[in-house]
Structure 1
């Protein structure tokens, strides 16, 4: 597996899937980036499939304030079909959530995607 493919897919998923509020555009991006049997793993649950991923993203973004976006804070590193990166999310000038993601690539697409969240920031 080309390390550039793994790291590129992870960064692209954050930009084109996890920031996309339009459901049709998000599903199209998921189909390009995620394996048909893709699984995402959050600390409290795991889900499988493009529709479930899209619904999860929609729920996350619906709970966020106007202008909220995720951004890679990197560097994104990868080898042997696995990539990891750091990220943060919030409206412009504010960080309300941060953490790290890891993905495993299968057949040139993300097959598994793990989310790790930093502890909540104190006010």
Structure 2
């Protein structure tokens, strides 16, 4: 039995919180000063991110630089937010489908969907049952599609 299947593993609410923080407070946050302090609570120090363009990001610095390039001033997704559409879990693996777009309303909850995709996430669960994201595969609908 893996640690996520035991009673000491993270609860569905904890997984939901981790994923929501990952999407909203990291990958949707244009400010490195706000985003960077959150990393140790969400990601394993040796986090690896597989981007759809073939790049492999290793560690906090490379991840932060990539998020900055995407969401920072002049970035391709400046002003956009990620929202989880569906979160599924099997053991230490989490699949989250998401929508990306600019906020529709003042509170920023609803977005105008410009792109969709998913993250495949491998968790690292410690002996206290606390989970962090260890490995992340980013899938973007249309860009990551495999066609014969």
More helix by share: 1
TM range (shorter): 0.7 to 0.9
Runs of 4+ that moved beyond 4 A: none
Report if the CA contact (8 A) 1:7-1:77 is conserved: no
Alignment-derived partner of residue 64 in structure 1 = 77
The alignment's TM-score, normalised by the length of structure 2, stands at 0.72
Matched with 1:96 is 114
1:4-58 CA-to-partner distances (Å, cap 9, x unmatched) read 2444322320011011111122111112100000000112211100111111111
- RMSD value, Cα: 1.7
Structure-2 change in CA distance of 1:63 and 1:70 (3 Å): same
Unaligned runs of 5+ in 2: 5-9, 105-111, 144-148
2:44 to 23, 28, 35: 35
Query: What SS class does the counterpart of residue 57 from structure 1 fall into?
Result: helix
Normalized per residue, the structure richer in strand is 1
